[in-house]
Amino acid sequence: MFELSKDHEEFRALVRDFATEKIEPHVADWDRDSHFPTEIVPAMGELGLFGLTAPEEYGGAGLEEGAFTYLCLAIEELGRVDQSMGITLSAGVGLGINPIMSYGSDEQKQQYLPDLIAGKKLAGFGLTEPDAGSDAGATKTKATLADGQWTINGAKAFITNSGTDITSLVTVTVKTGEKPDGRAEISAIIVPSGTPGFTVEPAYRKLGWHISDTHGLSLADVKVPEANLLGEQGAGFKQFLKTLDDGRIAISALALGAAQRMLEECVAYSKTRLAFGKPIAVNQGVSFQISDLAVMVESARLLTYRAAWLKDEQEAGRRGVAEVKQAASIAKLQSSEAAVTATRIATQIFGGNGFMEEYPVARFYRDAKILEIGEGTSEVQRMVIARGLGLPA
């Protein structure tokens, strides 16, 4: 039987206490004002949340076993209180730190990782473009190399952690040429914040994730040193596919946090909300929906934890890439759709109160939809799963 270790559960309790004490009291105000709480990020860093998958050399935890599972537990517990803060950690590690840690040169690691792991800085990952979302191979942003410098021109869309006061860089995917078969050669290049020509567009007005920092980016003749290439030239496509696989498990954990919170809210509310002189929980129309919620939560939990465990096993050399990729897509698909359903059910059970912003279910309802879109849409997950089953492309 699969179960978390005592250390994992103690860590979960630590993060839950932090989220309850440091985030929960302020989250309604932050959400209303679309305020990104820069001061919380260093506190998360002090707790070690940004360094869970990183080696001690750069200030990380240096965990030998179960590092990715620890990260998913942290994302789940933050997401249980607020989805925006959950995605801040998820993107900060998975899209900011991990690409540099996995593919960066020694110089790049020494320059950027210590502050990112400490929570003093954040980094973004510029993959999506206005006309290239699921079809990431259609990247139009271009980079040309001359006289030891890359010149970058293009635009990116929906980039998390890209415009905060503590954002230090964005890694962008760019077209650096064409392969013999005519497909784009995609590479990844580090662009430090404040580089001339690198413009962070105004923050989006979003349906949900109001606290999360999200911007479009434009790059007009942005020049960075040749040494800012991340990994090998032309390896960007392979790099971001691996990044997305890991990110899908993290999004599954974030969705699990939302579904778990909705279950807790519905159980508590249905016991105290009276209709016709009795708690609404006595009505099967309510209790059966909450029972379905419990099944969805447990299914999402098992799939998420299994995918995280497989990722840890892969890092230890005991599992293959294909197995993790399949597990990540299955977990992300199930958990994200469960979260959307859970928030809809919760809003219905709360009735008119569920439509009011003073109750957290309204915020979670708004926040949930993006879970079916980010890190690969539900349709993309089904495509990945079908290919993993050997069905024809």
Q: How far apart are CA 94 and CA 247, in angstroms?
A: 6
Contacts of 134 (CB under 8 A, 6+ apart): 376, 377, 379, 380
Q: Per-residue pLDDT tens for 308-325? A: 999 999 999 999 999 999
Q: Per-residue pLDDT tens for 53-77? A: 999 999 999 998 899 999 999 999 9
Report the amino acid identity of residue 354: G
pLDDT of residue 265: 98
Q: Strands, DSSP E only, in the chain?
A: 122-126, 142-146, 149-160, 167-178, 184-192, 198-200, 214-225, 229-230, 274-275, 278-279
Q: Per-residue pLDDT tens for 33-47? A: 999 999 999 999 999
pLDDT of residue 242: 86
Is 315 considered catalytic here? Answer: no
Q: CA quadruple 162, 363, 303, 22: dihedral positive or negative?
A: positive
pLDDT of residue 1: 43
Q: Per-residue pLDDT tens for 264-277? A: 999 999 999 999 99
- Which CATH number is associated with domain 6-122? 1.10.540.10
pLDDT > 70: what percent of the chain? 99
Q: Rounded mean pLDDT of the chain?
A: 96
pLDDT of residue 2: 65
Token readout for 362 is 């309204």
Residue 238 pLDDT level (bands cut at 50, 70, 90): confident
Task: Kindly tell me if the per-residue pLDDT of 376 is higher than 80.
Answer: yes
Q: How far apart are CA 137 and CA 135, in angstroms?
A: 5
pLDDT of residue 202: 98
pLDDT of residue 224: 98
Kindly name the residue from 76, 77, 265, 375 that is annotated as catalytic.
Answer: 375
Task: Kindly tell me if the per-residue pLDDT of 182 is higher than 90.
Answer: no
CATH of 124-233, one of 2.40.37.10, 3.30.450.20, 2.40.110.10, 3.40.50.970: 2.40.110.10
Task: Return the H-helix or E-strand segment holding 243.
Answer: helix 236-272
Q: Per-residue pLDDT tens for 133-181? A: 878 778 999 999 999 999 999 999 999 999 999 999 999 999 999 988 8
Question: Tell me, which fold does domain 237-388 have in CATH?
Answer: Butyryl-CoA Dehydrogenase, subunit A; domain 3 (1.20.140)
Residue 23 DSSP class: I
Contacts of 38 (CB under 8 A, 6+ apart): 164, 165, 166
Domain-wise residue ranges, the chain: 6-122, 124-233, 237-388
